[in-house]
């Protein structure tokens, strides 16, 4: 994979041929850029798609700097600069949506549109604990590999979605998107969650109202509940969609619907 040199560290990225308007995909907690494969494979024929690995995950170096959302946003801007992209449609999922919002605050002239998926109005709300998160979180670390994989699936996907698949096969197929066995929970996750917990740019989001924005929530998402999506869309005056029967893993389980939705949104807001 190609690399960008940033100081003493390297940032890994993937990009398609320059076949259309540029789109930058920003991933969430614990997932490398390849998690966007269902989107980048589908959209690369009409768009110039790029994704990257956050610091400390995939092939990107962690470096010595404390992780912050603003630092992730600086990395995203470095990717645009490295590729010579003056402005792009930016898509963020979960923590990546918060990073995308911060990128837009830092450099609004570089943003053609924002698509914010299963994400948060306030980063600190991502780290709020409740009985369900504690229970499922513990199960992701305890028991057999199969038990831990199933617990992780229950955290990310809706019961309705899991009832339609062979869960063992589904876990195996998902490894290529998460860059790991679903039974493994790398330590970088806690560092990313800490960065998210400390971040709150909600009071500034009103300055993004001139940027075309789409916010999508999964109705059964218990990590980034629809209340967060609605509050975010109101703050930035964006279009809001709430999809029934799906949860935090919406870009995987609803890939065809999402890809079609994103393509139509990009075309509607072409420069």
**Residue-wise pLDDT tens digits, 81-109:** 999 999 999 999 999 999 999 999 999 99
CB 92 within 8 A of CB 117: yes
Q: What is the pLDDT of residue 7?
A: 84
Residues 6 or more apart whose Cβ sits within 8 Å of residue 84: none
**β-pairing verdict for 3-6 and 9-15:** antiparallel
* Domains, in order of start, for the chain: 3-268 (3.40.50.1820)
Alpha-carbon distance of 246 to 254, in angstroms, equals 8
Phi, psi of 17 (to 5 degrees): -60, 155
Strands (E), 96-225: 111-117, 213-218
Burial class (CB in 10 A: 0-12, 13-18, 19+), 171: buried
The alpha-helical segments, DSSP class H, found in 140-181 are 145-156, 159-162, 167-178
pTM above 0.75? yes
CB 155 within 8 A of CB 248: yes
Q: What is the pLDDT of residue 187?
A: 93
What angle, rounded to 10 degrees, do the helices at 95-106 and 226-236 form?
A: 10
Q: Which residues of the chain have pLDDT under 70?
A: none
CB 242 within 8 A of CB 214: no
Q: What is the pLDDT of residue 199?
A: 95
Alpha-carbon distance of 208 to 31, in angstroms, equals 27
Q: What is the pLDDT of residue 129?
A: 79
- Neighbouring CB atoms inside 10 A of 26's CB total 30
Torsion sign (Cα): 202, 204, 207, 213: negative
Q: What is the pLDDT of residue 193?
A: 94
């Amino acid at each position: 994979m190609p690399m960008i040199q940033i100081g003493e560290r390297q940032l890994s990225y993937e990009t398609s041929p320059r076949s259309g308007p540029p789109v930058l995909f920003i991933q969430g907690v614990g997932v490398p850029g390849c998690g966007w494969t269902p989107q980048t494979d589908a959209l690369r024929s009409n768009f110039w798609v790029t994704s990257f690995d956050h610091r400390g995950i995939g092939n990107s170096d962690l470096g010595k700097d404390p992780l912050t959302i603003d630092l992730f946003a600086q990395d995203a801007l470095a990717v645009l600069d490295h590729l010579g992209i003056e402005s792009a449609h930016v898509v963020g999922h979960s923590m990546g949506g918060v990073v995308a919002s911060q990128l837009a605050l830092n450099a609004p002239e570089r943003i053609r549109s924002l698509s914010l998926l299963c994400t948060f109005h306030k980063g600190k709300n991502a780290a709020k604990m409740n009985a369900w998160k504690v229970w499922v979180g513990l199960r992701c670390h305890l028991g057999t590999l199969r038990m831990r994989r199933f617990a992780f699936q229950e955290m990310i996907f809706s019961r309705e979605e899991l009832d339609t698949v062979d869960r063992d096969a589904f876990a195996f197929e998902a490894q290529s998107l998460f860059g790991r066995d679903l039974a493994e929970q790398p330590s970088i996750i806690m560092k990313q969650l800490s960065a998210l917990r400390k971040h709150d740019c909600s009071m500034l989001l009103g300055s993004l109202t001139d940027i075309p924005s789409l916010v999508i929530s999964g109705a059964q998402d218990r990590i980034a509940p629809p209340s967060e999506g609605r509050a975010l869309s109101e703050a930035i005056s964006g279009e809001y969609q709430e999809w029934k029967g799906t949860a935090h893993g919406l870009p995987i389980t609803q890939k065809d619907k999402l890809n079609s939705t994103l393509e139509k949104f990009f075309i509607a807001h072409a420069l």
